[in-house]
Chains A and B, each alone.
Chain A
Amino acid sequence: MKDIFAFWGCGNGPLKSVHPQTRILAGVLVGSSCLLMPLQSMGQMIFMISTAFCWILLASMPEKMLLRGAIASIVLFCPFLLLSPWMTVDEYSSSPMAERFALSSGIALRSTCMFFIAASTIASLTMHDLHRGLVCLPIPRSIVALIVQLINQTMLLAEETTRIVGVLRLRGASGVRGSSVLFAFPIVWMVRMLFRAERSAAAMAVRGYGIETAVKDDRIKLTFQDMTMLSAATLAFVISVTLRVKAFL
C-alpha cells in the first residue's frame, strides 16, 4: 500500500512548477495525442514516442518508479505481440507476417506510451493536487466528488488488502496447509470491503457529502509556464488529430 501511495506526487520535474489543473489538462491532451496518432510511418511513431518521452522527462519520476513502470508495461503489453499471427492484414500483402507484427507492436507501443504518460501525470500530482486541480477545472462538482472518492476509497481498499495479506503471512497461510486460507481469502476480503463500503456510505451521509456543497471557487490565474505547457500539449494534440483525419481521408 505504501508503494501505491508513494507513487502519487513522486515526480520532481518541471511539471511540479505549474498549477495542478494545468498538469491534469496537459496530461489529458498529451495522452489523447498519443491515443489518436496514426502509426503508419516511422515519423509518426517517432513523434508519439518523443511526445511520451518529453512528458516523462517533465515529470521526472524517480528511477525506481520508472523501472517498476517499465516492468509493469512489459508484463501488461508484451503479450500483445503473441497475438501477431491472428492480426488481420491485407490479403495481398507481400510480407503479411511483418505487417501483422507491425500491427501488434504498434498496439503494444501505443499502450506503453499511454501507460507512461498516465504514470508520469500521477507522479506529478499528489492526491491533494489532483483534488485541487479538478476543482479548478470546469467539471461538474458531482464528477469531481466521484473521482476524489474513487481514489480515496481505492487507497483505503489497498490499505485494507495489505493488512489482510499481512495477517495471512503472519498466520502462516502458505504452502499446502495454507491453501484453505487462500481459498477463503476472497470471501473474507469481499465481506470486509462490503462492510467498509457500508460504513463509508454512512459517514458520507452523516457528513452531508454529495449534498449541495458550497465549496468556494478557487480558480487560480495561469502563469506563463502554465500557458507554455498547455500550448505545447495542445499543439501535440492538434498534430495528432490532423494526422488522424488525413489518414482517415
Chain B
Amino acid sequence: MNPVLQFKSVTIRYAGSVVDTVSDVSFHVHPDERVALFGLNGSGKTTLLLAAVGLVPFTGNIFIDEIPVEKKTLQKARDRTGFLFNIPEDQILFPRVLDDVAYGLIRKGVPLQEAHEKSIATLDMLGAKGLAECSPFQLSHGQRQRIALAGALVTSPAVILLDEPSSALDPRGKNALANVLRSIPSSILIATHDVEFASRTCARFLVLCEQGLCECRDCREAEAFLMGDTSVKSMGKNPH
C-alpha cells in the first residue's frame, strides 16, 4: 500500500532565521494509520503540519495521496486534507456553525440539504449537534474547537492533520474525539503534547527533537524521551 502522506528530506527555515526549524525530516503515514507527533515547544511540530498544506516554504518533497505539495498541485493536495489549526476560531469562516461545517461539502458540489445532513451527523459524532444553529461567537473555546474539527472531518479527507486537537476539550470531549478518530477511515497525523490522548488514538509515535525525528515504541517512551531520559533508546531517526 502506498503511503498517503510522505515527507522526503524536508527542511524548513523561516525567513530571517539562521537555523533550520525542521531539518532533513523524512517519514510517511500509511492509509488508515494514526500517528502522533510529539515534540517540545518550538520543535517544529506545527511548522511541519503547515508545510504539509503548503503554508510554509520548505525544501525537499511532501506528497499527500501521491500528489506533490507544490504550486501547481497545491489545491488538489489541500482538497484531500482536513486540517485543524491550533487556534480554532481562525478557521471558522461563517456566522452559523452549520454553514461553516458544511462549507467543505458545498465546495465539492454536494447538494445543500445533503451537506447539512452530513454536517449535523459529524457534529453529532463530536457531541456538538446542539450547536448547529449557533453563531461561533456564542461558543466557548472548546466548543469552537469541536466545530473546527467537524469542518475538517466532514469531507472524509484522505489525510487529517490535527494541531493540538485535544488542547481545549473537556474529558468527555477528548473521549468522543478519540473514539471518532479511531473510527474514521482516514490517515491521521496529530501534533500534540497530550500523551494520554495520543495513546488512546494513535498506533505510532514520532518525536521531533534536536537530533531530528525519532520513532518511539509507545507513547510512554516518547514521553520519557521528551523529558530528557537518555536511557530511552528510540527505534531510529527519520523512520520510513
Contacts and interface: CB of A to CB of B under 8 A. Distances in A.
A and B held together in a complex:
yes
Contacts of B89: 156, 159
B14 interface: no
Contacts of A200: 90-91
A131 interface: yes
Contacts of B111: 216
A204 to B, nearest CB: 7
Nearest to B97: A128
Interface in B85-126: 85, 87, 89-96, 99, 103-104, 106-109, 111-112
B90 A151 contact: no
Interface residues of A, number: 31
A131 B95 contact: yes
Contact of B78 (A130, A208, A214, A216): A208
A214 B83 contact: no
Interface string A19-42: 000000000000000000000000
A161 to B, nearest CB: 14
Interface string A110-136: 000000000000000011101100000
Interface string B45-61: 00000100101000000
Contacts of A5: 135, 137-138
A211 B137 CA distance: 25
Contacts of B53: 206
A203 B95 contact: no
A131 B90 contact: no
A209 to B, nearest CB: 6
A159 B89 CA distance: 11
B221 interface: no
B106 A216 contact: yes
Nearest to A199: B90
A219 to B, nearest CB: 12
A192 to B, nearest CB: 11
A151 B95 CA distance: 9
Given A203-B85, A205-B55, A206-B53, A149 B93 contact: yes
A216 B102 CA distance: 12
A197 to B, nearest CB: 10
Interface string A84-112: 00000000000000000000000000000
A139 B229 CA distance: 62
Contacts of B81: 206
Interface magnitude class on chain B: 20 to 34
Contacts of B94: 131, 148, 152
A203 B93 contact: yes
Contact of A204 (B50, B87, B93, B135): B93
Nearest to B151: A207
Nearest to A156: B89
B179 interface: no
B171 to A, nearest CB: 26
Contacts of B137: 1, 5, 127, 155, 159
B106 A131 contact: no
B85 A207 contact: no
A196 interface: yes
B14 to A, nearest CB: 13
A56 B19 CA distance: 61
Contact of B96 (A128, A214, A216): A128
A202 interface: yes
Interface in A192-228: 196, 199-200, 202-209, 211, 213-216, 218
Given A203-B90, A203-B91, A205-B55, A211 B75 contact: yes
Interface string B62-81: 00000000000001001101
A152 B99 CA distance: 13
Contacts of A203: 85, 90-91, 93
Given A202-B50, A206-B91, A214-B108, 14 more contacts: A5-B135, A127-B96, A128-B96, A130-B95, A155-B137, A156-B89, A200-B90, A202-B55, A204-B93, A206-B78, A207-B91, A207-B93, A208-B107, A209-B93
Interface of B: 50, 53, 55, 75, 78-79, 81, 83, 85, 87, 89-96, 99, 103-104, 106-109, 111-112, 135, 137-138, 151
23 contacts: A1-B137, A5-B138, A127-B137, A128-B96, A128-B99, A128-B135, A130-B95, A131-B96, A152-B95, A159-B89, A159-B137, A196-B90, A199-B85, A200-B90, A200-B91, A203-B85, A205-B78, A207-B91, A207-B104, A208-B75, A208-B78, A213-B106, A214-B108
